[in-house]
Amino acid sequence: MEKAGSFENLKIIPEKGHEQFKREPFIKSNLNLIFSFIFLLLGYFMKMEYNEEHLLTITPFLLSILIGGSKLFKTGFSNLLRLEFDMKTLMTIAILGAAAIGEWGEGATVVILFAISESLEKFSMEKARASIKGLIELTPKTAIIKTSTGEKDVDITEIQLGDVILVRPGQKIAMDGKVISGYSTVNQSSITGESIPVEKNIDDNVFAGTLNEEGVLEIEVTRESSDSTISKIIHLVEEAQAEKAPTQSFVDKFAKYYTPLIIAISFLVITIPPLFLGGEWMVSIYQGLSVLVVGCPCALVISTPISIVTAIGNAARNGVLIKGGIHLEEAGKIDAIAFDKTGTLTEGKPTVTDIEFLSKKGDSLGILGALEKLSMHPLAKAVVEKLDSENLNFYAVENFSSITGKGVNGEINGIKYYAGSPSLFSELNPNLLQSNITIINKYEQQGKSVIILGTDKEILVIVALIDRIRSTSNSALSMLSSIGINDTHMLTGDNIPTANKIASEIGISNVKAQLLPQQKLDYINTLKKTKKVAMVGDGVNDAPALATANLGIAMGGAGTDTALETASIVLIGDDLTKLPFTIKLSKKTLSIIKQNITFSLLIKLFALILVLPGWLTLWIAIFADMGATLIVTLNSLRLLGVKPEK
């Protein structure tokens, strides 16, 4: 397959296992260019000794053209037969035309300069893609597993789910898994972009490619090597780099019409002067060939993809997964940002602070735990964790059901119980809630969430929980303001007092509380009518809103499949300060793409104007083309310098 696709530089990489990315030495990868250059110098030496029409002069120039332009001609002729006119087709026609009119030296020089340009372009794209190759090389190729007979060093492709791997201090973790023994700190910067190592205890998740710093860890493997978080990130980033951005699509369409236009101009430059203005055919043909060379859209075609690839690679190295050029461009156009509260602006790890009993009837905590154990809501999980620590026995629940956005209910010993938000009990029995409103208001004014257990006739228990604000939330909102995004919204299903308190502490300008998932979706749709809106959520509960917004941004991509699948952009390390970095990177990318396209077109226009006084030569044409390509490439690589603020 590689041989069949060699003319397109096709490279086959194993889906499982590891591909070694080895860069060939410069001399080996540019042998054709070197020999072509040697023959070019020999040709000019012979030209000084004899003349351009002498066989000893023509021969080295011809060899220079054939050796240096072999790949170019192969593609150029193939395109010509299919009537596809791209830059290689134009260059092929121009070089053969130069040889046909006896300009062997200039034809060979054009080949050399074009080959240098191609080599520089390849080097730049390799540098841009190096971030992804670096990610691939992060994961160890082998790991030590514990077996019944002792320790064994095996290839990671042979490790099965449930195997236990041993990771000593200073070693990289080879597989995604869960710590079952030991304590350590792990440097996760390669995956999440976090600069500070994270403590890992029993039951904590760890990721392949991260560095164990202090203690010995025994890790139970929870994902195969091909399904690890870093493998998914690499796969998605490679897909993103292959996906065309809107600007790239525009450039491709433009080049489709631009190239035939250049051929038409070249034809007119060749024919009009000798036919109507008394010009010489040889001079006009030479000028026409120069127009073909200067008209090659090399810089224009590369202006967008190299910028996109560089930006996406830079983002991946800094803990941000951007799933395509279209999303990268969209981030720079955002006017407003809507945030989910739980797990986004807050840590998403609520803890129980208060339990207030309002009735002595039965084992109310056992009933509460039984109901909440069947719920998937973060508050419910926090309640169960608290009650588990009390070693309580939970009851068997019958006819359990979930009430979206409000709570749960089920029958225990023939009695129907409800556990959920105050709004649930307001619907069940408004008078019942009103009689306890003072207690509820007290907790909500403290910024706490409230869960109530009861029946439709009485309230048994009121539980208060608090979810602490992320340490990065305040600084992220401040950074967003500094780059001109002040229209921020918080969308939450929590109560109004809690939402207002958190919003005021962080600096959110608009708050919508007690929203169901459908209401979040409706709110996003309303905002979209007048603004470009980004939605930031945890990728699980907010999937509809994330999918509907102009740009869906998920928190907690590390290990969260839903986040990786749902959102357009994923902040891998739960670090909100990466959001302003992403927007800044996008704006910079859009700016550089515009600079590249403008410069590419202006330099072409300037060179074409030189046709009028007859000053355009093949030398000037190729230098204009190669110079533009080089400048566009170097300008795009400036995106590697965009870094997150500390």
pLDDT, tens digit (0-9, with 9 covering 90-100), for 81-125 = 777 766 677 777 777 777 777 778 777 877 877 777 677 666 655
Query: DSSP readout, 125-182?
Result: HHHHHHHHHHHHTTS-SEEEEEETTEEEEEEGGGPPTT-EEEE-TTPBP-S-EEEEE-
The torsion angle over the Cα atoms of residues 404, 406, 408 and 414, rounded to 10 degrees, is -120
Q: Residue 40: CB partners within 8 Å, gap ≥ 6?
A: 60, 61, 64, 68, 105, 108, 109, 112
Q: Average of pLDDT values for 603-621?
A: 76
Q: Residue 268: CB partners within 8 Å, gap ≥ 6?
A: none
Cα separation, 287 vs 219, whole angstroms: 70
Contact 615, 290 (CB under 8 A): no
Q: Is the pLDDT score of 311 beyond 90?
A: no
Smallest CA-to-CA distance from 548 within 567, 574, 572, 571 is with 567
Smallest CA-to-CA distance from 39 within 59, 68, 64, 57 is with 64
Q: How far is CA 607 from CA 4, 476, 623, in A?
A: 39, 47, 10
The torsion angle over the Cα atoms of residues 324, 328, 330 and 334, rounded to 10 degrees, is 140
Smallest CA-to-CA distance from 102 within 61, 53, 43 is with 53
Instruction: Write the DSSP symbol of residue 623.
Output: H
Cα separation, 537 vs 515, whole angstroms: 14
CATH topology of domain 142-224: 2.70.150
Smallest CA-to-CA distance from 491 within 506, 466, 508 is with 508
With bands split at pLDDT 50, 70 and 90, how would you rate the model's confidence at 510?
very high
- Which residue ranges make up each domain of the chain? 24-134+238-309+587-641, 142-224, 351-466
Cα separation, 523 vs 500, whole angstroms: 18
Percent of the chain with pLDDT over 70: 83
With bands split at pLDDT 50, 70 and 90, how would you rate the model's confidence at 68?
confident
Mean pLDDT lowest among 50-59, 250-259, 625-634: 250-259
Strand partners, 336: 487, 533
Residue 180 is predicted with a pLDDT of 92
Task: Give the CB-side neighbour count of residue 569, counting CA atoms within 13 A.
Answer: 35
pLDDT tens, position by position, 553-604 = 988 755 456 666 777 888 877 788 899 999 999 999 999 988 988 888 888 7
Q: How far is CA 571 from CA 278, 343, 548, in A?
A: 67, 12, 18
3-state secondary structure of 559: coil
Residue 348 is predicted with a pLDDT of 76
pLDDT tens, position by position, 161-185 = 889 999 988 888 888 889 999 998 8
Mean pLDDT lowest among 284-288, 436-440, 489-493, 556-560: 556-560
Cα separation, 467 vs 567, whole angstroms: 24
Q: Is the pLDDT score of 36 beyond 80?
A: yes
Mean pLDDT lowest among 24-38, 496-510, 542-556: 24-38
Residue 7 is predicted with a pLDDT of 47
Q: Is the pLDDT score of 644 beyond 50?
A: yes
The torsion angle over the Cα atoms of residues 368, 373, 377 and 378, rounded to 10 degrees, is 90
pLDDT tens, position by position, 415-429 = 999 999 888 898 888
Cα separation, 493 vs 407, whole angstroms: 11
By annotation, the residues acting in catalysis are 340
With bands split at pLDDT 50, 70 and 90, how would you rate the model's confidence at 464?
very high
Q: Give the pTM.
A: 0.69
Smallest CA-to-CA distance from 604 within 588, 624, 627 is with 624
Tell me the pLDDT of the chain averaged across its residues.
Answer: 81
Mean pLDDT lowest among 124-138, 270-284, 319-333, 488-502: 124-138
| Burial class for 390, CB neighbours closer than 10 Å (0-12, 13-18, 19+) | exposed
CATH topology of domain 351-466: Calcium-transporting ATPase, cytoplasmic domain N (3.40.1110)
Six token digits for residue 286: 């030479």
Contact 178, 220 (CB under 8 A): yes
pLDDT tens, position by position, 320-371 = 888 878 888 889 899 999 998 888 888 878 889 999 988 765 588 999 999 9
